[in-house]
Amino acid sequence: MTDSTGELTAKEIKKRRRRLPPPDPQPLRGLVDAHTHLAACGGRTEADVRAILDHAEAVGVDQVVTVADDMVDARWAVAAAHWDDRAFAAVGLHPTHAGDLNDESRAELEEMVADPRVVAVGETGLDYYWTTRSDDCADPAAQKDAFAWHIDLAKRSGKTLMIHNRDADRDLLDVLAAEGAPETVVMHCFSGDREIARECIDLGYVLSFSGTVTFNNSTELREAALLTPDELILVETDAPFLTPHPYRGQPNQPYCVPYTARFLADLRGVSDERMADVLGSNARRVYKFPLR
């Protein structure tokens, strides 16, 4: 859209910018994207996945965990993890899709979790944001049932539990406590305040920080990131959303991890290299990546 003089309008400039991928960050070696969605990032084929991971590796993001939302996505994530040895999969039903859990999907998820390329069960948990905003979203009771089933699956399979939490802090921690948490729990895209962070840390849960920690209004989240001990911190993109500042709103991909990793280094007063080393080695430990 142009105005009468042929100049781009401010609105159009903003719109175009939103479609533009952020520039490549300066490389920062040894990082892992602890939670991403490669299919939603435009990964369809093996060649697409390879291109996304080549781009990430060029700036130091060596491996990623690609996470499923529903059954179609879960099958795709497992396939992607077999196409490229830099991708690992997490399989499960997102809480908003908890209604899809039945005998058939349970049996299929059980089978998928046994695959050595699958490193986590999830994303599962509770999402009370969408229950009031979408007709398709599973109700809280169905979400709790499905969450309990995923917790049990993680325990039986020995895989890490990948948790999604939106506006459900208290219920989520209560269900986990009632069911008994598996050995390793990752709170993906951690969004709680200082108290919730403290509670998770005391329980030994791993807090994974996305681009949201870099947003201007993230005061509480920054405090949480400051509280988290070295051995319990991860970094993720949750791409294609939550692109770190100053690229918020533009498309996110695993190659953007160094932006958030550098922000965390700055916040915690350590060197970028030291932060990358902590974040990368934690991911490799938490997900038990095989040695390359």
Return the residues of window 51-90 that contact Zn ion according to CB under 5 A: none
Joined together, the tokens standing for residue 18 give 């939103």
Return the residues of window 135-154 that contact Zn ion according to CB under 5 A: none
Mapping DSSP onto H, E and C, the string for 26-94 reads CCCCCEEEEEECCCCCCCCCHHHHHHHHHHHHHCCEEEEEEECCCHHHHHHHHHHHHHCCCEEEEECCC
Q: Is 82 annotated as a binding residue?
A: no
Residue in 216, 225, 275, 276 with CA at minimum distance from that of residue 246: 216
Quote the least distance from Cβ 9 to Zn ion, whole Å. Answer: 34
Should residue 164 be labelled a site residue for Zn ion when binding is judged by CB under 5 A? yes
Quote the least distance from Cβ 186 to Zn ion, whole Å. Answer: 11
Quote the least distance from Cβ 238 to Zn ion, whole Å. Answer: 5
* Distance, CA of 163 to CA of 205 (rounded, Å): 10
Residue 23 C-alpha from the chain's centroid:
21
From 12-20, 135-143, 233-241, 282-290, span contacting Zn ion (CB under 5 A): 233-241
From 48-56, 100-108, 133-141, 158-166, span contacting Zn ion (CB under 5 A): 158-166
Q: Is 145 annotated as a binding residue?
A: no
Q: Write the CA distances from 193 to 117, 170, 209, integer angstroms.
A: 33, 12, 13
* DSSP bridge partners of 8: 2
Quote the least distance from Cβ 4 to Zn ion, whole Å. Answer: 44
Q: Is 164 annotated as a binding residue?
A: yes
Residue 116 C-alpha from the chain's centroid:
20
From 16-24, 105-113, 122-130, 144-152, span contacting Zn ion (CB under 5 A): 122-130
Q: Which is nearer to Zn ion, 176 or 265 (CB)?
A: 176
CA angle 205, 194, 221 (to 5 degrees): 90
Give the type of residue at 25.
Answer: P
Quote the least distance from Cβ 166 to Zn ion, whole Å. Answer: 7
From 70-78, 197-205, 234-242, 262-270, span contacting Zn ion (CB under 5 A): 234-242
Quote the least distance from Cβ 197 to Zn ion, whole Å. Answer: 17
Q: Which residues bind Zn ion (CB under 5 A)?
A: 123, 164, 238
Binding residues: 35, 37, 123, 164, 188, 238
Query: What are the binding residues for a divalent metal cation?
Result: 35, 37, 123, 164, 188, 238
